[in-house]
Structure 1
Amino acid sequence: MGESTAPPDPDKGVSAPDRYGLVLALLLISFLLTAFLPGERARPLPLLLYLTALTLALRSAHPEQPGSRRLFWVLAVASAVAAILLIVEPNRAVHGLISLWMAAILALAIVSVVRRVLAHRIVTLQTIFGALSAYLLIGFFYAALFSAVAQFQGAALFSNGQPANNNTIQYFSFITMTTVGYGDFTAANEPGRTLAVFDALTGQIFLVTLVARLVSTFGVARRGQ
């Protein structure tokens, strides 16, 4: 008897089930927490949610690699220390360094999610959720950079004496990324203005080149995967 040949698995090589719907939910919760919980003491909550989202992204991208587990524990310990410092040490320099640490975590999460999404042979709902998660992560990434600038520079981040706190910085980052441009918050000087330009460019390029492309090929196997 001849051997039967099974049809190829369209998602072969993508070994672990993705949970980007959960990642997207965590990011939305983080957005709401930052918007409605005032004060610096609320910042550890989004940080922990970012770390959880990154953990899910790393587990999906590299489920069998022990290095991913070691990386997670390094990030977890460092993030726990950062969260404690946010609560007990109200120092601008410390908060600026922690903002840069959050930006690094978010950058790693963006890379992990995008690489995983591009590995999908068939565009599924989880693929779309992953792309949307990466889009939100970009907004949080620039918010962390804006926060670092606000802590380190001597001049005000926003013009006309507008306050630069967690709520307003997050609002400014996402409004800039979506190029809505209400004009109620504008960067007063450099490097905030340059970051705002890159924020807008990154958001629009990401939407046009990845999200729109994935939505247009929903349910279709992609070539070269």
Structure 2
Amino acid sequence: MKHLLFTSIVLFGTFSLNFVKRAQKILIASGIVTISLNWLDLFFTNQVLDLVFFFSFFCFNLFIVVFMVRHIAKSKNVNLTIIINSINGYLLIGILGAVLLAMTEILQKFLYHTDTGAINFAGGTARGFHDFIYLSFVTLTTLGYGDVTPVSAFAKSVALIIAITGQLYLTILIAILVGKFLSRTETD
């Protein structure tokens, strides 16, 4: 299931916007690398491979988020495409947070050779990537149930970055969209 989720995110992300040709080529190339690393996990289970995959996936999605925000900022009008890109950007930030949290967990086990993770899950350890998605979105939205908590200093820093990024994205995006909408209604 994890492999299909990551592959679909990469494929949809590659063709979600009308990127300039150079950006499209970079996305396709990095998407192929990311998908390949993703599916290699079926044959070779290795923490280093997982870490390289998550880093590749993180860079790929960060590139898309930056281009989405640039597209939103450069647009002259607020239309359905801009609204959908705004929502997609927010959702991708949540996925980026989950990837960072998963990388934190892998690094904690890899660097310190301990079974205790960087994140304390209510049922013990993370059972899958969906646990990191859950923690990321609970943190991003500042909902904070408290059933999953960061334990290590690095995991706490990542959680803080996710929370601040979520709030800044929403406030800046709303300011941009309202400004564009108001400037459009004043000229009509």
Question: TM-score with structure 2 length normalisation?
Answer: 0.84
Higher relative contact order (CA 8 A, sep 6+): 1
Query: Match for residue 192 of structure 1?
Result: 155
Deviations 1:1-40 (A, max 9, x none): xxxxxxxxxxxxxxxxxxxxxxxxxxxxxxxxxxxxxxxx
Displacement, 1:221?
Answer: 2.8
Matches within 5 A, 1:23-62: 42-57=1-16, 59-62=17-20
Displacement, 1:209?
Answer: 1.2
Deviations 1:115-161 (A, max 9, x none): 11111101112111111110011000010111111112124122367
Whether the 8 Å contact between 1:123 and 1:219 is mirrored in structure 2 is no
% identical aligned pairs: 24
Whether the 8 Å contact between 2:139 and 2:162 is mirrored in structure 1 is yes
Matches within 5 A, 1:129-140: 129-140=84-95
Say how many residue pairs are matched: 178
The one-letter amino acid of 1:149's match is T
Alignment RMSD: 2.2
- CA distance change for structure 1 residues 220 and 61 in 2, over 3 Å: closer, same or farther? farther
Query: Match for residue 120 of structure 1?
Result: 75
Matches within 5 A, 1:198-209: 198-209=161-172
Q: Which structure has the greater CA radius of gyration? A: 1
Displacement, 1:222?
Answer: 9.0
The one-letter amino acid of 2:94's match is G
The one-letter amino acid of 2:151's match is A
Query: Match for residue 176 of structure 1?
Result: 139
- CA distance change for structure 1 residues 184 and 125 in 2, over 3 Å: closer, same or farther? same
Displacement, 1:99?
Answer: 1.1
Contiguous gaps of at least 5 residues in structure 2: 110-115
The one-letter amino acid of 1:43's match is K
Whether the 8 Å contact between 1:131 and 1:211 is mirrored in structure 2 is no
Contiguous gaps of at least 5 residues in structure 1: 1-41
For 2:174 and 2:53, the matched residues in 1 are separated by 30
For 1:213 and 1:114, the matched residues in 2 are separated by 10
